[in-house]
């Protein structure tokens, strides 16, 4: 019993240590920020403008994404066509798409010299202006329309096929089906989808850095960055960081209050028979929606490939060095995420049924509400007296990236550990498999898929992250996203296109490698 007790304490202890790290990173950095915020400092009118802009752009982005997703998801739910599966898979891709690469692609389509402006030029219209509120919203819709579509599509597919058959046998028109079947589902799913996207958009930084700015299009996150980077006004940065945390906490609270749908990923391949929508008009409308959505997603990506390919093999040495740094950061971040998530997941399992388990898991999700810039600011304040934060830019980036990926890793690992222990725990117990033997011969082989997925996601997110690194780094230690941003800011668009394609390839490859590694030869 003593031996067993020690094993158990070890697992729980490791989990609590991991939770303490997360706590220090989220609330600890916030505390450091609060301590530093001088109470004499007040929010000026420009700061309030930033708060208003943050809420405005997040509301608009969420509203437009969700509204456009309705016809697209409906079309996908009731049409079968070649490439449907690929398109639905692609709807999941923006999640690992580096933000700054997407911005580059959007510029190639909607920018001053982009496809749209050229098209408008033929008819004598002035070029489309992408900078400012509508650029920020456009980019956010680009990222979140796919997410909203997947969430709504899932809602559609959860309506039992029998109901549609019943509706057909009763001679329902498309309008009747909409009223009786689709609207009740939407009433349930839409608020959650809206809140999720709203939360994501309140902490968005890279999009606003690239497409916003100026007094009329600055979010709180960007204001933190500017106060920190340009004015080196730590007090004001700290105050803004508190405001940002309040917004994030309020938004997360909203998400807890509203029923948030979960993207399960699987089972989106079914199509219900829908006789009421068989008419030519409906088919043309659906095809148009699917075509428009696909073009909106694929054109920017295509432009990155098209423009980037020629420059890919003649990239400046600074870009190559940055790429190497980014890969190291991404891999370290993936390792760190597992080092935090696995002990947490094991501890949650060991403590199941007790209140501490709930607390540990909740702590792991805390970084959803935290902002990377707040974390970065806090770490800077904490590190400043003891070390040169600029020299630690890359390690800090690794740590913050890992903290931001942790919620996704936990969502994959906590239920997986419970499943594995539930199924094979008694056998392992009866064979006396403990500690390392249990880890090697039970957990690692059985958890390969969620481990691979978590590591891949963490690596891809870290690879493309342009957040905390922008706060700290000097030119000698830029990551690839930061280097790309600098090329764009210097209007070196050819090099930028090459760097963008390289970044895209690296992020997708990292995700694919880990995720694939978790799947091949997995005996289930």
Partner 1 sequence: MLTLEGLTVRQDSFELRADFTLETGAMVAVIGPSGAGKSTLLSAIAGFIRPSAGRVLWQGQDLTPLPPGERPVTMIFQDNNLFPHLSAFDNVALGLCPSLKLASAERARVRGALARVGLAGLEERKPAALSGGQQSRVALARVLVRARPLLLLDEPFAALGPALREEMLDLVAELCRETGATLLMVSHDPRDAERITDRAVLVADGLAHVPVPTARLLADPPRALRDYLGGGARG
Which residue lies nearer to partner 1 by CB, 6 or 80?
6
Q: How far apart are CA 48 and CA 336, in angstroms?
A: 37
Which residue lies nearer to partner 1 by CB, 4 or 354?
4
Which residue lies nearer to partner 1 by CB, 74 or 438?
438
Task: Give the shortest CB-7-to-partner 1 separation in angstroms.
Answer: 9
Which residue lies nearer to partner 1 by CB, 216 or 440?
440
- Give the max Cα distance, the chain: 83
| Three-state DSSP class for residue 336 | helix
Which residue lies nearer to partner 1 by CB, 229 or 441?
441
Which residue lies nearer to partner 1 by CB, 374 or 433?
433
Nearest to 361 by CA among 108, 87, 23, 6: 23
Which residue lies nearer to partner 1 by CB, 342 or 493?
342
Q: How far apart are CA 131 and CA 17, in angstroms?
A: 45
Residues that bind partner 1 (CB under 8 A): 1, 3-4, 423-424, 426-427, 429-434, 436-438, 440-442, 445-446, 522-524
DSSP for 98-114 reads: -HHHHHHHHHHHHSTTS
Beta carbons of 410 and 344 less than 8 angstroms apart: yes
Task: Give the shortest CB-267-to-partner 1 separation in angstroms.
Answer: 23
Which residue lies nearer to partner 1 by CB, 237 or 451?
451
DSSP for 27-43 reads: IIHHHHHHHHS-TT---
Q: How far apart are CA 300 and CA 305, in angstroms?
A: 9
Beta carbons of 413 and 458 less than 8 angstroms apart: no
Q: How far apart are CA 157 and CA 142, in angstroms?
A: 23
Residue 465 DSSP one-character state:
-
CA 88 to chain centre: 17
The structure tokens listed for 334 are: 């993936």
Beta carbons of 351 and 199 less than 8 angstroms apart: no
Task: Give the shortest CB-432-to-partner 1 separation in angstroms.
Answer: 3
If phi over 0 gives left and psi between -120 and 50 gives alpha, with beta otherwise, what is residue 171?
left
Task: Give the shortest CB-8-to-partner 1 separation in angstroms.
Answer: 10
Dihedral of the alpha carbons of 223, 225, 230, 233, in degrees to the nearest 10: 80
Task: Give the shortest CB-421-to-partner 1 separation in angstroms.
Answer: 11
Contacts of 414 (CB under 8 A, 6+ apart): 344, 345, 348, 349, 361
Residue 399 host element (H or E): helix 393-430
Task: Give the shortest CB-350-to-partner 1 separation in angstroms.
Answer: 14
Which residue lies nearer to partner 1 by CB, 64 or 447?
447
Which residue lies nearer to partner 1 by CB, 278 or 522?
522
Task: Give the shortest CB-517-to-partner 1 separation in angstroms.
Answer: 14
Task: Give the shortest CB-16-to-partner 1 separation in angstroms.
Answer: 22
Task: Give the shortest CB-522-to-partner 1 separation in angstroms.
Answer: 8
Task: Give the shortest CB-358-to-partner 1 separation in angstroms.
Answer: 21
Nearest to 231 by CA among 47, 395, 386: 47
Which residue lies nearer to partner 1 by CB, 169 or 430?
430
Which residue lies nearer to partner 1 by CB, 380 or 453?
453
Q: Which single residue is written with the structure tokens 């608020």?
A: 191
Task: Give the shortest CB-415-to-partner 1 separation in angstroms.
Answer: 18
Helix (DSSP H) and strand (DSSP E) numbers for the chain: 24, 0
Beta carbons of 251 and 370 less than 8 angstroms apart: no
Beta carbons of 50 and 215 less than 8 angstroms apart: no
Beta carbons of 334 and 343 less than 8 angstroms apart: no
Task: Give the shortest CB-521-to-partner 1 separation in angstroms.
Answer: 9
Which residue lies nearer to partner 1 by CB, 150 or 443?
443
Task: Give the shortest CB-439-to-partner 1 separation in angstroms.
Answer: 10
Exposed, middle or buried by CB within 10 Å (0-12, 13-18, 19+), for 425? middle
The structure tokens listed for 265 are: 């990923």
Beta carbons of 500 and 101 less than 8 angstroms apart: yes
CA 417 to chain centre: 23
Task: Give the shortest CB-454-to-partner 1 separation in angstroms.
Answer: 19
Which residue lies nearer to partner 1 by CB, 80 or 354?
354
C-alpha angle 23-27-33 in degrees, rounded to nearest 5: 140
């Amino acid at each position: 019993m003593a031996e067993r007790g020690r094993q158990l304490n070890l697992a729980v202890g490791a989990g609590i240590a991991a939770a303490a790290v997360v706590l220090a990173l989220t609330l600890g950095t916030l505390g450091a920020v609060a301590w530093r915020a001088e109470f004499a400092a007040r929010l000026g009118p420009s700061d309030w403008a930033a708060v208003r802009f943050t809420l405005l752009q997040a509301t608009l982005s969420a509203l437009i994404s969700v509204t456009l997703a309705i016809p697209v998801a409906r079309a996908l739910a009731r049409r079968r066509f070649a490439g449907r599966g690929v398109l639905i898979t692609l709807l999941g891709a923006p999640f690992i798409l580096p933000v700054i690469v997407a911005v580059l692609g959007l510029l190639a389509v909607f920018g001053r010299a982009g496809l749209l402006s050229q098209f408008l030029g033929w008819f004598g219209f002035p070029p489309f202006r992408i900078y400012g509120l509508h650029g920020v919203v456009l980019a956010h819709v680009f990222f979140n329309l796919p997410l909203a579509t997947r969430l709504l599509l899932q809602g559609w597919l959860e309506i039992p096929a029998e109901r549609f058959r019943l509706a057909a046998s009763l001679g329902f028109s498309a309008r009747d089906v909409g009223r009786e079947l689709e609207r009740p589902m939407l009433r349930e799913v839409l608020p959650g989808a809206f809140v999720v996207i709203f939360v994501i958009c309140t902490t968005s930084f890279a999009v606003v850095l690239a497409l916003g700015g100026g007094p009329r299009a600055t979010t709180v996150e960007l204001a933190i960055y500017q106060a920190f980077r340009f004015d080196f006004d730590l007090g004001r940065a700290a105050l803004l960081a508190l405001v940002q945390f309040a917004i994030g906490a309020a938004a997360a609270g909203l998400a807890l209050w509203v029923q948030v749908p979960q993207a399960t990923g699987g089972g989106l391949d079914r199509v219900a028979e829908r006789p009421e929508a068989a008419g030519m008009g409906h088919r043309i409308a659906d095809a148009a929606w699917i075509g428009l959505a696909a073009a909106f997603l694929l054109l920017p990506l295509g432009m990155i490939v098209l423009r980037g390919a020629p420059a890919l093999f003649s990239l400046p040495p600074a870009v190559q060095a940055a790429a190497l740094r980014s890969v190291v950061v991404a891999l370290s971040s993936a390792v760190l995420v597992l080092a935090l998530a696995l002990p947490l997941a094991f501890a949650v399992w060991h403590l199941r049924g007790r209140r501490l388990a709930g607390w540990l898991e909740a702590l792991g999700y805390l970084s959803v509400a935290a902002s990377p810039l707040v974390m970065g600011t806090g770490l800077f304040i904490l590190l400043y007296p003891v070390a040169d934060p600029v020299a630690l830019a890359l390690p800090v980036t690794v740590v913050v990236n890992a903290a931001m990926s942790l919620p996704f890793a936990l969502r994959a690992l906590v239920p997986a550990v419970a499943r594995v222990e539930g199924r094979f725990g008694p056998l392992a117990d009866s064979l006396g498999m403990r500690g390392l033997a249990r880890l090697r011969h039970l957990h690692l082989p059985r958890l390969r898929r969620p481990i691979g997925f978590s590591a891949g996601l963490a690596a891809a997110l870290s690879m493309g992250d342009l957040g905390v690194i922008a706060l700290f780094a000097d030119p000698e230690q830029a990551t690839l996203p930061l280097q790309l941003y600098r090329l764009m800011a210097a209007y070196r668009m050819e090099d930028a296109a090459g760097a963008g394609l390289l970044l895209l390839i690296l992020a997708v490859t990292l995700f694919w490698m880990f995720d694939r590694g978790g799947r091949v030869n997995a005996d289930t």
